[in-house]
Amino acid sequence: MAAIPRLSIGDLTVEELDLLYAIEVASYPNPWPFDAFRRELKLPFSRILAARNNGNEGPALFGYCVLWVIRDEAHILNLAVHPDARRQGVASTMLQNAIDSARIQGARILYLEVRRSNDAAHKLYEGFGFKQVGIRPRYYEDNREDARVMLLEIVKPGMP
């Protein structure tokens, strides 16, 4: 799916935290605390990528992705899209940007956890080449649902 033309990706600013948090609350039954995002902005290994709306209609922030890069490993901790911007290529654009950012920062692998029941997310991640490598039993606090651990080899073994 092609990205919507009025979207741009960049690092989230402190001023955008309220917009991010509105998406978080609308997206998850057990949202992260607001201060967790504030702390993420201060961590040297963490980035919050913001999908901004450069157009005149719709939400100012389409979505966000929290990415950690520590040495040669990257981890997507959180990715969410505003309810009014879903199914328009926002998640795909953010995911590609997160993969590119991790690669540029030296990561060789990227992993994430996703609810076992979230078929749409599984399809998205598998479309980018992620493979399921494990299960985290009863990972989610709200309903004790299992998480699928998914992994993408950003740089294949033997590649520079």
Closest Cα partner for 146 from 117, 112, 126?
117
Q: In this structure, are residues 108 and 99 in contact, taking their beta carbons and an 8 Å threshold?
A: no
139 is catalytic: no
Selection from 139, 65, 57 nearest residue 97 by Cα: 65
Q: Any catalytic annotation for residue 125?
A: yes
Catalytic residue among 16, 21, 64, 125: 125
Catalytic residue among 113, 140, 141, 145: 113
Distances (CA, A) of 110 to 27, 35, 46, 158: 23, 25, 14, 17
Which residues are tagged catalytic?
113, 125
